[in-house]
Amino acid sequence: MGSNSIESDCCDTADLLQVLGHITPLPEPFQQRISEQIHEENFKAKQILLRPGETARRIYFVKKGLLRAYYIDEKGKEHTTWFVGDGDLMISVYSFLAQRTAEEYIEVLQDCVLQSLSWSQLQSYYADFKEGNLIGRIVTEKYYIISEERSLFLRTQTPEERYRIMLERYPTIEQLTTTSNIASYLDVSRETLSRLKSKMLRNKRTANAA
């Protein structure tokens, strides 16, 4: 997500209707239906949008703010899987698409403005508009591409590279969440993360002194 967001292919600021319209031109009746059905809501930091055992009923577009997805393993340890910022879509992919219970949490890290559509609304778009099926396919493909990129991010990048990429995507992340969450996202220990921070700070000082 982040720099992989759907909005990043479109424009600097957008709402959900604009983003969907960028995927494919939408006929006026389709635009009208979406405009009438989009639900916009403000959420406060620390609110939980989804818990394990619940079914994801809505797909969210982050107009402003920051979220994270995480799960808790059998030992009670949290594992952060995603940070999701401005211009990203946020869903619990399997739960939403299959309408099965989720195994993860979705938490608001920073006060958010979110726009959303329900699963049943999307199904009506697929049935009533040929463009609806195209949007559904492209969004689904994009999510699986992002999932693969996340897997490659962990398998092929060094911890230092992961940390640098994360800061490029989410420059204020360290002010918005805990060191433990960031270390979990990067798949490193807190001690390793501390060393990475110190090294980057030294490099900046050296560069500024040059």
Catalogue the E-assigned strands of 11-170. 39-43, 48-50, 58-72, 78-84, 89-90, 105-118
Supply the pLDDT for residue 150.
83
Report the relative pairing of strands 39-43 and 105-118 from DSSP bridges: antiparallel
Q: Which residue has the higher pLDDT, 71 or 154?
A: 71
Say yes or no to pLDDT of 64 above 70: yes
Partners of residue 61 on adjacent β-strands: 89, 115
Name which of 24-38, 97-111, 140-154 the model is least confident about. Answer: 140-154
Among 97, 23, 3, which residue's Cα sits nearest to residue 56?
A: 97
- 200 — pLDDT class (breaks 50, 70, 90): confident
Q: How far apart are CA 36 and CA 58, in angstroms?
A: 16
21-61, pLDDT tens digit by residue?
A: 888 899 999 999 999 999 999 999 999 999 999 999 999 99
Residue 154 token pair: 């962990």
Is residue 29 within 8 A of residue 68, CB to CB? The reply is no
Q: How far apart are CA 48 and CA 8, in angstroms?
A: 26
